Amino acid sequence: MSKLKDEIARTRWGCIGFVVLGGPLIMMLLCSGWPHIDHTTEQDAKDRYTEWTGLPWPQSGKIIGFGDDHGIFHLSSEGDYFFVFEVDDEALEEILKRQPESPSPEEWLFSDWQQGPVPNEIGSHRRFSTNATFSTHAYSSVNEQDVSRAFNSAEIFYSASERCCEGLAWHNGTLIVVDPPENHIWVCDWDY
């Protein structure tokens, strides 16, 4: 009987230790993106562009960067999703002729196309890279200097949508930047 009691006590403390120490650690790792599972694909970026903007994916569109730092299986609701793609002159003109359409017009709308630079309160935290320790960043050939050049240029056009609460300006949003000098389209969606 003593052996049975010892076994029960040992098992009980092991279970308590796992619940107290192991459970939160495992949940933290899963929510932060561990183990790394890359669920972001080029097709996801193309689908999201059409879904978020109502604009068709341009025939000449070539993705040069995309990523997601929401974490594994999107268990973490906070983060950025971004993609950058290159288009020809014809596609760029076509994009600027059409106003982006919100997939949820009853909740949020895109602004009209506006000439740059992107206001600091909208663009200052958009990094077009995933600096999170664990992310599902696929790849990006753009860098911070590219982002800064594009967002601070008077030659770009942008449309933005704020999707959050009063008092938390640009806490959640979507931003589309059309960069004619480089023929790049920058799209970022964030929620924090």
Q: What is the pLDDT of residues 98-122, one digit of tens each?
A: 888 877 776 678 889 999 999 988 8
Q: Which residue has the higher pLDDT, 69 or 74?
A: 69
Q: What is the pTM of this model?
A: 0.72
pLDDT digits (tens, 9 = 90+) for 13-59: 655 655 566 666 555 555 544 444 445 678 888 888 888 788 889 99
Q: What pLDDT was estimated at residue 121?
A: 82
Scored b (16 or more CB within 10 A) or e, 125-153 reads ebbbbbebebbbbbebebeeebbeebbeb
Domain boundaries, the chain: 1-32, 42-191
Instruction: Give the count of beta carbons closer than 10 Å to the beta carbon of residue 171.
Output: 13
Q: Which two tokens stand for residue 189?
A: 């969606």
Helices (H) and strands (E) in the chain, counts: 6, 7
Q: Which residue has the higher pLDDT, 101 or 70?
A: 101
Distance of alpha carbon 163 from its chain centroid, rounded? 14
- Burial class for 29, CB neighbours closer than 10 Å (0-12, 13-18, 19+): middle
